[in-house]
Amino acid sequence: MTVETTLANPILDLEKPHVDERGDIQPLVSFPQAKIGSAVMITSKKGTVRANHYHKEDWHYCYLVYGAIDYYERPINSDEAPTITQIKAGDVFYTPPLLEHAMVFTEDSAFLTLGGGTRSQEDYENDLVRVNLVDPKNV
C-alpha cells in the first residue's frame, strides 16, 4: 500500500481484505523500508484532548480500534485554521513530522500507534514541540 495522504485527508485508503472460511486479513499499512521504533496502545476518554504538538522527526500511523476522534492538523508556524477530519473506528491515519496536530475524543476511544521513534518518555519529549492547536477548556 502506498501512503498518499494530504492535509485535507490524513486517512489512508485500505486495500481489500483477504477473506476465507477462517476469517479476514485486513492489510493496514506496509513498511517496505521504514524503521518502526515503537508501537503503543492509547486509550482516551470522551471529551479529552491529546497531542497539541508536532514532532521534529518522528511520524506515526494510528489505527482507531474503537471510538471517534476529531483530528486537527495544520502546517507548523501557521496562523490558518486547522483542518478537522473525523476519524471513525477502523480508520488508519498518518501524521508526518513537522505537522501540528491534536485529537479531540468525541467518544471513549482506543488507538494503536506505530511510530518511527522510540516511546521512551525522554526521547519522545525531546522530539516534540508543544502548541495550542485546541484549547482543552473549549472542548
**What is the pLDDT confidence band of residue 3, given thresholds at 50, 70 and 90?**
low
Q: Provide the percentage of residues in the chain whose pLDDT is more than 70.
A: 94
pLDDT digits (tens, 9 = 90+) for 53-67: 999 999 999 999 999
Question: Domain segments of the chain: what residues?
Answer: 34-138
Partnered with residue 40 across adjacent β-strands are 113
| Residue pair 111/64 in contact by the 8 Å Cβ criterion | yes
3-state class of 121 per DSSP? helix
- Round to whole Å and give the CA distance between 104 and 139: 8
For residue 21, CA distances in Å to 1, 25, 27, 119 come to 24, 11, 17, 38
**Assigned architecture for domain 34-138:** Sandwich (2.60)
Exposure of 124 by Cβ count < 10 A (0-12 exposed, 13-18 middle, 19+ buried)?
A: middle
**What is the pLDDT confidence band of residue 2, given thresholds at 50, 70 and 90?**
very low
Q: pTM (2 decimals)?
A: 0.83
pLDDT digits (tens, 9 = 90+) for 76-126: 999 999 999 999 999 999 999 999 999 999 999 999 999 998 888 888 899
Partnered with residue 92 across adjacent β-strands are 63
| Residue pair 97/106 in contact by the 8 Å Cβ criterion | no
| pLDDT tops 90 at residue 17 | no
